[in-house]
Structure 1
C-alpha cells in the first residue's frame, strides 16, 4: 500500500479475504480510496450464491465490494450472476464481472445478463494477446483485465530479446514494456509481486509511449495459446 497500490484482487479460492480485511484495517487508507475485487467459487445455485456473497462481505468486513467476479465459467454461472445482480441493485456490489470466459462462453453468457459484465479477467500477456476476444467484448461494453501479465515468467519473459531491445530505448525493463503494451491496447493489468521495488517498477509506466514499430514487434510475439495447462 505504501508504494501506491489501491486495487486489491482477492478470491474465495485464494482464502485471503480475511487477511486483506486485516491489512486494510491496519493501514491508514480510507475505504473509499481502495478498490476491492473478489471472486466467487462455484455457488451451485441462486440461493447458495447469495449466501456465498454474504460470506465474502463478512470476511472482507465491508459494506460493499467494488467488483465481484465469477471465478470460472461454471455450469451454474448464469444462476450465480442473477444473485449477483440482486446484490448490485441493493448497492452491496458496485460492479459485476466474470473471469476466464473465452469467446464462446462470453457470448453465450451475456445473452441472459440484465447487466453486462464490466470486466472479464483473463490470462493475457505478450505471448497470448487475445485481440479478437477483446474486440468482441468491447462491442458489448466489457473490459479485458489481464491476470498474469508477465506470463508467470514463462517463455523467458524477463529476458525476451524483443522486450529487452525495446526497453533499452526507454530505459525500461521487459516487465515495464510488457505492461505498457497491454495498457496501450486498453487492457487493464493487475501484475503480481511480493517485492516492494518491483511494485514501484510496475507503477512507473506512464512516462513513455511505445512507437508503432515497437507495437508491431511485440504483436509478433503472440503465440495465440495458453501457457497454463489448466487454463485451456
Structure 2
C-alpha cells in the first residue's frame, strides 16, 4: 500500500491525489463495488465515477463498506448532458448523492460542454454553497469553452478532466487552464493502449533506465507536470503498479522526449460532431440502473 501519495490542491482547498482510480466501463454494480474496494485497499484515495457510467451505486457501496474514513476519500462524479440545465442539475446532483449513498460529493463536474451548461453551472455553484459539493469543475471542455465559462460565469472551474496522454497532449487547453488556475485531470492516460504506446521506443528506453514499467513512465510524465491521472484496472497487481508511479522522477530531458511524441500539437481540444452529440444524448442516467 502506498503511503507517500503526492497531491495537488484545487481552488477552494480540496486536496486531490495525483493518481486516482477510474471506473469508466465498469458497468455492473457488483464489479464496480469490488474494483473500488480493491483500489481503496491498495491505497487509492481519489475515486472517479459519473452518472453516465451507471455504476454510482456500486462505487458508493464500496466507499461505505470500506474501513477508510469517508473524509480521506476524494469522490468525483459528473453531470450528464441530458441533465444540463439549472433545474436538471439540481435533480441530478441529488440523484447521484442518493445512488452513491453519501452526504456530499467532493468534486462534481459538467461531463460535456453540451446543453444549457451555463444554467447547470449556476446550479452547481449553489449546490456547492449549500454543502452538497466541495468543488466544481468540468470535463471535455476545450480551451475556448473553458475560458468562456470562467470569464462569463464568474466562477473558474477547479478541474478540467480531458483526454490526455503522450499521443494527445492538449497543449492549448493546458495553457488556458494554467492561466485560469484550473487543474488538468487526464482520462485515458494510456490512450487505451492504442498505436503501440506501451512498446514505443522512447518510453521503453526511459522505463529501462529507471527500472520501471512503460505504464509507470506515462503516469509519471503526467503527474510530474501537475496533471492528475485516473487509470482504470480491475487487476490488483496493475492497481498497485499504477499507484507506485510517483515513486521516481523523470529528468527534464526525458519529459521533453515524451513531449515530442505529441501527434496533435495544434489540437484545439474536444470538438463534438453532430453524430457524437446524438449518441451522447441517447444515454439517460435517470433511466434504469442495475
TM-score, length basis structure 2? 0.76
CA drift of 1:44 comes to 4.1
Q: Of residues 231, 255, 264 in structure 2, which corresponds to 1:191?
A: 231
Say if 2:121 is the partner of 1:81: yes
Structure 1 residue aligned with 2:32: none
Structure 1 residue aligned with 2:64: 25
Say if 2:250 is the partner of 1:201: no
Say if 2:263 is the partner of 1:219: no
> What is the aligned length?
231
User: 1:170-224 CA deviation, whole Å, 9 max, x = no partner?
Assistant: 0011101111111121111111111111111111123321122212211110011
User: 1:108-153 CA deviation, whole Å, 9 max, x = no partner?
Assistant: 2222323211000000001111123212111111011000100000
Structure 2 residue aligned with 1:40: 79
SS in 2 for 1:98: strand
Say if 2:55 is the partner of 1:16: yes
Structure 1 residue aligned with 2:217: 177
8 A contact 2:124–2:136 mirrored in 1: yes
Structural RMSD (CA): 1.9
Structure 1 residue aligned with 2:15: none
SS in 1 for 2:255: helix
Say if 2:207 is the partner of 1:167: yes
8 A contact 2:223–2:246 mirrored in 1: no
SS in 1 for 2:125: helix
SS in 1 for 2:47: strand
SS in 2 for 1:66: strand
CA drift of 1:75 comes to 2.8
Cα separation, 2, equivalents of 1:212 and 1:7: 27
Say if 2:42 is the partner of 1:3: yes
Cα separation, 2, equivalents of 1:217 and 1:185: 14
SS in 1 for 2:114: coil
Distance 1:76 1:66, change over 3 A: same
Structure 2 residue aligned with 1:129: 169
TM-score, length basis structure 1? 0.94
SS in 2 for 1:94: strand
SS in 1 for 2:68: coil
Structure 1 residue aligned with 2:93: 53
Cα separation, 1, equivalents of 2:80 and 2:246: 35
Structure 1 residue aligned with 2:37: none
Q: Using CA pairs under 8 Å that are at least 6 residues apart, name the structure with larger relative contact order, 1 or 2.
A: 2
Q: Which runs of 5+ in 1 are unaligned?
A: none
Structure 2 residue aligned with 1:120: 160
Cα separation, 2, equivalents of 1:123 and 1:56: 23
8 A contact 1:78–1:112 mirrored in 2: no
